[in-house]
């Protein structure tokens, strides 16, 4: 049977990895797919460099539309990234009747509903395993392997840059800014790391997983997003003393009122497997009603790990290329006419527990005032840790020096809106000297 022909848009880190792995393992892949898969055209602005990477026998152009217009191309791989030209090219490829493989989580999280609808109308597939957690086959697990389950919640370390930074902060006692510079020096963080450290990248991925898990449209604009920039080395240390690790988690959860979709730092019990995922590795925990808890672990980025996921999508499309569109696995696991309108809850409605760190004047009655505010709000305390005074500060030039200390409080579950109000009251106390640090706590039991 004639090999299926593929056009590649962008031959950067992931594109070159895809080309190399596909060529290196072509016989094994052919045995699995039932026919050969060949990248026969590549589009890249740097034509000379691209031609050097792929060698003779592959047509290299600087215009992606030449690939889309080629009637011999069956599948288009989009590895350009971003929301702009990538969206235009993906929609044009679909309109031309091409199947699409993409690693572009930002594009799908923001414009996935439009893209999947266009693909369904045209009878083509959009495959995106590489968009979430790199080489970990989490999309296939959610969409196919766990299809018998009612998914209850997902919690994932799905950004390697932030996990590396948090690991360095814990292992070496570094502050955030120092750990970030180290990550940049080692190539784990971009020169502009905003999407990573502010949680946006993780939120793109969590949005996609949430849609597949619960059969809802992709709704990135409704995700709560908080990064790791405000975490201090002290919080990492205190969490450790209390038996927890701090990780940036993407969480989506089915609750009676709707769906939670949030990304933020979390305290996780140190005994949980996911709490021990270090460095730039990724891990996703899925809780299903039938299967219980499953854990998926591996490299979430990199040339060949991500290429592994891209090629898995190529094989899936090759197997189903001639199948009736109605018999293919739906893009978001659920049939398009059976999607749910469950609301994504605002963060103020989310119920979780909390770690609070208050920098206070070391004077009589401070702890009683703080715990009294929490009690009045109906917030139950799980544990309190008060450090001995370790700093001297000045209230003003005319007042005497005042000893300061940290008070650490762990709470039981409460609704976020109650905690917001309680924090505002505690912050207004004259004895609370700095902005209160609040980190959410997830037991993942």
Q: Is the distance from CB of 172 to CB of 278 less than 8 angstroms? A: no
DSSP string, 104-169: -HHHHHHHHHHHHHHHHHHT--EE-GGGSSTTS-HHHIIIIITTTS-EEEEEEE--HHHHHHHHHH
Report d(CA 115, CA 105) in Å as an integer.
12
- Long-range residue pairs from 71-75, CB within 8 A, at least 24 positions apart, any chain: 72/5, 72/40, 73/5, 73/6, 73/7, 73/40, 73/41, 73/98, 74/4, 74/5, 74/6, 74/98, 74/99, 74/321, 75/4, 75/5, 75/6, 75/7, 75/99, 75/100, 75/101, 75/314, 75/317, 75/318
Q: Which helix (H) or strand (E) holds 22?
A: helix 13-24
Closest among 253, 174, 182 to 443, alpha carbons compared: 253
Q: Is the distance from CB of 286 to CB of 142 less than 8 angstroms? A: yes
Report d(CA 416, CA 160) in Å as an integer.
28
Which of 205, 253, 299, 441 is catalytic? The answer is 205
Alpha helices by DSSP H, 127-275: 138-140, 160-172, 176-185, 194-197, 200-214, 233-241
User: Does the annotation mark 205 as catalytic?
Assistant: yes
Report d(CA 440, CA 445) in Å as an integer.
15
Closest among 437, 405, 400 to 419, alpha carbons compared: 437
Q: Is the distance from CB of 408 to CB of 242 less than 8 angstroms? A: yes
Residues with a known catalytic role: 205
């Amino acid at each position: 049977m004639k090999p299926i022909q593929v056009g590649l848009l962008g031959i950067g880190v992931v594109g070159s990895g895809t080309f190399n792995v596909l060529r290196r393992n072509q016989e094994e892949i052919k045995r699995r797919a039932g026919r050969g898969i060949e990248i026969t055209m590549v589009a890249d602005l740097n034509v000379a460099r691209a031609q050097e990477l792929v060698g003779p026998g592959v047509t290299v152009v600087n215009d992606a539309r030449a690939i889309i217009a080629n009637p011999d191309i069956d599948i288009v791989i989009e590895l350009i990234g971003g929301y702009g030209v990538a969206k235009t090219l993906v929609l044009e490829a679909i309109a031309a009747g091409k199947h699409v493989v993409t690693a572009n989580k930002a594009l799908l999280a923001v414009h996935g509903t439009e893209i999947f609808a266009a693909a369904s109308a045209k009878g083509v597939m959009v495959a995106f395993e590489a968009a979430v957690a790199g080489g970990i086959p989490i999309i296939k697990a959610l969409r196919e392997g766990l299809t018998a389950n009612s998914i209850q919640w997902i919690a994932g370390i799905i950004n390697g840059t932030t996990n590396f930074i948090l690991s360095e902060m814990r292992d070496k006692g570094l502050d955030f800014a120092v750990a970030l510079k180290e990550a940049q020096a080692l190539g784990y963080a971009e020169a502009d790391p905003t999407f990573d450290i502010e949680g946006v990248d993780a939120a793109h991925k969590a949005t996609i997983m949430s849609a597949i898990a619960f059969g809802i449209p992709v709704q990135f604009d409704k995700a709560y997003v908080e990064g790791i920039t405000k975490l201090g080395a002290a919080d990492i240390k205190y969490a450790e003393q209390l038996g927890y690790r701090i990780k940036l988690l993407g969480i989506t959860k089915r609750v009676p009122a709707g769906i939670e979709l949030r990304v933020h730092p979390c305290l996780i019990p140190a005994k949980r497997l996911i709490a021990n995922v270090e460095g730039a590795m990724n891990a996703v925990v899925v809780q299903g009603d039938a299967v219980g808890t499953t854990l998926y672990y591996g490299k979430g980025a990199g040339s060949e790990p991500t290429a592994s996921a891209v090629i898995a999508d190529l094989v899936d499309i090759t197997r189903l290329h001639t199948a009736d569109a109605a018999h293919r696995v739906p893009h978001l696991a659920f049939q398009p006419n059976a999607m749910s309108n469950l609301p994504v809850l605002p963060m103020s409605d989310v119920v979780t527990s909390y770690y609070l760190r208050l920098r206070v004047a070391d004077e009589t009655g401070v702890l009683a005032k703080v715990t009294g505010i929490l009690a009045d709000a109906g917030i139950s305390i799980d544990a309190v840790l008060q450090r001995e005074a370790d700093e001297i500060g000045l209230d003003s030039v005319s007042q005497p020096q005042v000893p300061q200390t940290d008070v650490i409080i762990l709470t039981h579950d409460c609704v976020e809106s109650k905690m917001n109000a309680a924090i505002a009251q505690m912050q207004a106390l004259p004895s609370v000297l700095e902005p209160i640090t609040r980190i959410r706590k997830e037991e993942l039991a």
